[in-house]
Amino acid sequence: MLIVKFFRKQQFGSFFIKATLFVSIIIQAAVLNAQQVTMLTSGTRASFRGLSVVNNNIVWVSGSNGTVGRSTNAGKTWQWHSVKGFEKTEFRDIEAFDSNTAIIMAIAEPAYILRTTDGGQNWSTVYKNDRKGMFLDAVDFYNEKYGMVVGDPLNGKFYIAVTENAGKSWKEWPEFHLPVADSGEACFASSGTNIRMTGVFSFVLASGGISSNFFPTWNKKVKIPLLQGKESTGANSVAVYRKKIMLVGGDFNAKDSTNGNICFSANRGKTFNISEMPPSGYRSSVEHLYKKTWITCGLNGVDISNDDGKTFRKISSDGFHVVRKAKKGKAVFLAGGGGRVAWLQ
């Protein structure tokens, strides 16, 4: 608009006014569609569900075949490691602290958490559990010290272990303080984002399966308007911004269905609304970007909302399992099957 005014003042002929109006329309269209998913070259075919973005340059991913990748230049180049002794393990979640230090999580039989302090060359086992039924879903950290890992229910209660020293050691959370699960209620280990810490050992949790719920805290449970009733249905991911909560999921066996795939709350989960224009399919991960802007991804693409979830717009048809924003910085990365990694421009 500024450009148009400038040329009008100069009293150019109508052709120039039309031409500059046209240019200004193109510029406005470009701004509206500014968010673009740009593919990066990973050089591997592993499937990624773990993603941790430390800052605008340092990014770690983890996934199938014991694969862990690290980039220190915003994804331009990657160093790949197949974790020794874990070449067949799938690391479903990762939390990185800097370019050298990270932990990775393996779900079951046995469940493991490993830690590196040399950029991923050597890993040490900091947690191992071969209890029957043990299945870890996601790790989250409140800051550089305090973290939690959540697992599927054992004897009717979700499993939680905590760390106070950046993942160097873990201890089981007292049984008394564990969220109670309904029959057929569990978590999905699809993107490492169904638990989000909101303080030192305070957290919100999203569950799925036959019963899908939101836990604003360990001893409160809210029924959510997401698809549920089958093992493949329910919430896969939760994101939090102040009092706002966004939950995504659906049915991972119906990747294009928008049925019950999103809900959001402005009052920390007291009440939930559903979108007028939901994301374009089953969604496994959601992240808050800034103000009213949220991003979500799944097997059939990536969508963005600029109005706190009321309406979503598809920005890519490339499938991803997980989307994460830099803990310190603005960079946003995505990772998925077939070695796919990308960044949001």
Ligand X SMILES: *[C@@H]1O[C@H](CO)[C@@H](O)[C@H](O)[C@H]1NC(C)=O
* Segment lying near ligand X (by CB under 6 A), choices 23-31, 44-52, 104-112, 292-300: 44-52
Closer CB to ligand X, 47 or 169, in the complex? 47
Closer CB to ligand X, 44 or 213, in the complex? 44
* Segment lying near ligand X (by CB under 6 A), choices 9-17, 40-48, 138-146, 169-177: 40-48
Closer CB to ligand X, 8 or 84, in the complex? 84
Closer CB to ligand X, 130 or 307, in the complex? 307
Nearest to 153 by CA among 193, 192, 114, 210: 210
Rounded to the nearest whole angstrom, what is the least distance from the CB of residue 271 to ligand X in the complex? 7
Peptide bond connecting 153 to the previous residue in cis, omega within 30 degrees of 0 = no
Using rule CB under 6 A, residue 273 touches ligand X: yes
Beta bridge partners of 264: 246, 273
Nearest to 96 by CA among 124, 77, 68, 75: 68
Cβ-based neighbour number of residue 325 at 10 Å: 17
Rounded to the nearest whole angstrom, what is the least distance from the CB of residue 239 to ligand X in the complex? 14
Beta bridge partners of 97: none
Interstrand relation of 220-223 and 213-217 (parallel, antiparallel or unpaired):
antiparallel
Q: Evaluate whether 189 touches 136 at the Cβ level (below 8 Å).
A: yes
* Segment lying near ligand X (by CB under 6 A), choices 42-50, 128-136, 193-201, 255-263: 42-50
CA distances from 315 to 61, 260, 275, 302, 341 (A): 22, 20, 17, 6, 16
Rounded to the nearest whole angstrom, what is the least distance from the CB of residue 281 to ligand X in the complex? 22
The alpha helices in the chain, defined as continuous H runs, are 2-9, 14-32
Using rule CB under 6 A, residue 275 touches ligand X: no
Judged by CB under 6 A, the chain residues 45 through 74 that form the site for ligand X are 45-47, 64-65
Closer CB to ligand X, 213 or 265, in the complex? 265
Judged by CB under 6 A, the chain residues 121 through 150 that form the site for ligand X are 121-122
* Segment lying near ligand X (by CB under 6 A), choices 41-49, 109-117, 126-134, 313-321: 41-49
Rounded CA separation 52/50 (Å): 7
Rounded CA separation 189/150 (Å): 10
Using rule CB under 6 A, residue 266 touches ligand X: yes
Closer CB to ligand X, 100 or 217, in the complex? 100
Judged by CB under 6 A, the chain residues 313 through 342 that form the site for ligand X are none
φ/ψ of residue 107, rounded to 5: -70, -45
Q: Given the rule CB under 6 A, which residues bind ligand X?
A: 45-47, 64-65, 121-122, 266, 273
